[in-house]
Amino acid sequence: MKQLFSVAGKTILVTGGTRGIGLAITRALAKSGATVIANYARDQKSALAVQDELGAQNVNIVRADLTRDKGMDKLFEAMVPILGGKTLDGLIHCAATGIHAPFDQLQLKHWDWTMNLNARAFFDLMVRAKDLFTRGASVIALSSEGAATAIPNYSLVGASKGALESLCRHLAIEMSAAGVRVNILSPGSVLTDAWDAFPDKEQRLQTTLKKIPGGKLTSLEEVSSVALFLCAEASNAINGQVIIVDHGERISN
């Protein structure tokens, strides 16, 4: 039974794996015996600190801008010696960005910037990794409430997450013949530095807390524990689903 819930010995790529939810997932995987390839785009000092904390044998950091072809090339070239001829057991796409502003203040450059990392990069990752996945591999894409619900100043990020979720559902069918599962993990309100993008952060937090049953934000550990489950054999029957982790926040809206 224990093996069903184990990720020990697996090698998993986590994009955006050195900050926020991605970092929490990297920590959980590494501490549970998995080898993590943690991609990041900036802040090398923080990335190195993560590697020092968890051990270079457990976490391999790779700096690469996934919105550029050269960045993708760099990531997959770096993965060759890490995998050492072995297959990839999982991919968790946590890397994300976005412009938080009213619609009438947005421009096409904001659309391109947001879509390129949140949706296009995931598509490119899957195209390049499809022949690297082991049978039984698990793919997880991080989404948000804004994929299905209108949130003020969130139109571009919400649209990108909606596109991401739709792509995952299609890939869940198309990758099933290769034994690869694709799911969406959609956390509730988690207090990360992403909240700093909102000028009315404190007001939003208080409003959010009032609508969550029990009045508790979702923790990083609660999100990462579900990611662990989705990477383990115990979740083999879960495919093409949006897994919501939010203490019931969405059902109380």
Please write the tens of the pLDDT for every residue from 196-249: 666 677 787 888 888 889 888 899 999 999 999 999 999 999 999 999 999 998
**pLDDT, position 168:** 98
> Number of structural domains, the chain?
1
Please write the tens of the pLDDT for every residue from 53-106: 999 999 999 999 999 999 999 999 999 999 999 999 999 999 999 988 999 999
Please write the tens of the pLDDT for every residue from 159-208: 999 999 999 999 999 999 999 999 999 999 887 776 666 667 778 788 88
C-alpha distances in Å from residue 27, one per residue of 105, 209, 225, 231? 38, 27, 10, 14
Separation between Cα atoms, residue 102 and residue 106, nearest integer Å: 7
Which residue shows structure tokens 């989705």? 230
Contact 177, 130 (CB under 8 A): no
List the one residue out of 151, 148, 147 whose CA is nearest residue 208.
151
pTM given for the model = 0.94
3 state DSSP class of 12: strand
Domain that holds residue 118: 2-252
What the block records as the tokens of 233 is 């054999």
Residue 132: give its domain's CATH number: 3.40.50.720
Separation between Cα atoms, residue 210 and residue 205, nearest integer Å: 9
For 102-117, what is the mean pLDDT?
95
